[in-house]
Copies of this chain bind each other. A is one copy, B any other.
Amino acid sequence: MSSQLQGFKQSCTAARKWRALRGLPQNQLQHRRNQLLPNGRVQVGFCTTKSVTLSNIKELKELVGEDAVLTDPEEIASYNVDWLGQYKGNSKVVIRPKTTEHVSQVLAFCNRERIGVVPQGGNTGLVGGSVSLGENEIVLSLSRMDEILSFDDVSGVLVCEAGCVLEKLNDYVKTRGFVMPLDLGSSGTCMIGGNVASNAGGIRFMRYGSLHTNVLGLETVLPDGTVLDLLSSLRKDNTGYDIKQLFIGSEGTLGVITKVALATPASSSSHNVAVLGLKNYDTVALCIARAREYMGEILSACEYWDEKSMELVSENLDIKEPFSQRHPFYLLFETSGSDNEHDVEKMNRFIESICTEPGILDGVMAQDMKQIDELWSIRENITVALKDAKGFTYKYDLSLPKVKAMNETTFAVQEAIQRSYKYPEAKVLQFGHVFDGNLHLNVWNPCYSLELKELIEDTAYTYVAKNRGSISAEHGIGQLKISKLGYSKPEGAIDLMGGIKQLFDPNKIMNPFKVLPPANSR
């Protein structure tokens, strides 16, 4: 088995190295870009926005100050490439405003001049949404708007600027007895404005719900420069249509999020993590049902990965495997509660209830924080290891209504690839937020092939559409999935999206050619 996976192996960077990543060697990017271009992702030809002129740059500098406008190619290189290194933009200008007023002035100017604007947070998005498509858009980076504005330690409501890094916010509220309602593998780099714009999910989703309930208010700047102050700190507000909901998941196409008000839940004093090794996928659903029964209110995460993911992480990163033997599937359960004795008792009862099931091969429960981190790091580093692996990885972030369907999709893809007899080295991996029906399906191959891509997508997306799943559970559409939108969204809804785009951004300056199909975005 291990020899089959040789393509994965390479001298891998340490885990979480990517947290600080900016830029990749140009040649590698060009290489990938050329590979990727033929599939029609880049629609520069349809552009309706104008290129930035030297005189525009001068005017922009007058508006927001010299130091907020970057034009030095070296300085802006990292803003022009996404985290995966699969998209390379050619923006000539990056603007880094310090205030909402500056954002407003920049947008009003760009709207007048018909200059495209790509808002950017931590640039960790996985669908190419945060880099420009053409040469004529400016990147508007929120990274200098990173102040925490208020925190109420009775209600747990946090108000901050959009450029605050998620991990820093979590550290801040943690010392006050609270916790951010979301956590992602990218938390050291991604920013709260980017999280809201991409409606990020992550590992706390199952416990605390989506940003549609946790975001209480937003300040946004509309494309014409109007500041829309919906920065409410209220848990409840039923005064007409909830406009802010449209910005959650809008990926920068309706306006710029400048401030965010969030409900943060109280943190838990006790955390426990167990990992089980399973013989087959059927046991996954059984374990979830039992976990809910025995651990109910303290259950805070439920993740899974398969044998190939385990092998990848174990053999490429400095990460220990939980068991001496490999197993077909791994399930991680986390509990968070207010009384450790109670929690351990509940988890033990859960483990007792399942350990005699024939599908359970092994199990381990972390004894301290260090072991908790170790177990989590397996799951968290699968994306990292795949990124660092030589070759090319096709990444899919699917949502399915039934736990069962996750494995069936993976299996269907694997079979289709095998049946083609063309990609003997390809590896199909599955992992993800299993409780939420969120499958991260990844296919690794020694090199990029458009045909393989189409084979995977035909199989996976057809299966997803048949099961009323989603082609993007949490990563969004960006530039990557526009042509596939129809697999998940009915035509009527895509038309309404076009109408909403027209209402908010009639000149189509915001993140041009992202999210909406060309017919609906212009």
A interface residues, Cβ below 8 angstroms from B: 152, 154-155, 157, 177, 198-199, 201, 205, 208-210, 212-214, 222, 226-230, 232-243, 245-246, 248-250, 254, 266, 268, 285, 288-289, 292-298, 336-339, 342, 345-346, 399-403, 433, 436-438, 468-477, 481, 485, 488-490, 492-494, 496-497, 499-500, 503-504, 515-516
Contact = CB atoms under 8 A, between A and B. Distances in A.
Contacts of A477: 238-240
A266 B245 contact: no
Given A240-B497, A249-B242, A437 B474 contact: no
Given A213-B212, A346-B339, A232 B496 contact: no
A399 B471 CA distance: 38
Contact of A236 (B234, B437, B485): B437
A496 B243 contact: yes
Given A212-B245, A240-B249, A297-B337, 20 more contacts: A152-B401, A154-B289, A154-B402, A199-B238, A210-B212, A210-B213, A212-B242, A232-B468, A234-B400, A237-B472, A237-B488, A238-B249, A238-B474, A240-B477, A240-B485, A240-B493, A242-B248, A242-B249, A243-B497, A246-B246
Contacts of A297: 268, 297-298, 336-338
A123 to B, nearest CB: 18
17 contacts: A199-B242, A201-B236, A226-B492, A228-B496, A229-B492, A234-B437, A235-B438, A236-B399, A237-B399, A238-B472, A238-B474, A239-B470, A243-B500, A245-B246, A245-B248, A342-B346, A500-B503
A445 to B, nearest CB: 26
Nearest to A234: B399
A241 B496 CA distance: 9
A470 B245 contact: no
Nearest to A481: B239
Contacts of A492: 222, 226-229
Nearest to A267: B296
B246 A154 contact: no
Contacts of A494: 240
A240 B285 CA distance: 30
Contacts of A250: 241
B488 A239 contact: yes
Contacts of A336: 297
Contact of A239 (B234, B339, B471): B471
Contacts of A503: 496, 499-500, 503
A492 B438 CA distance: 37
A496 B505 CA distance: 12
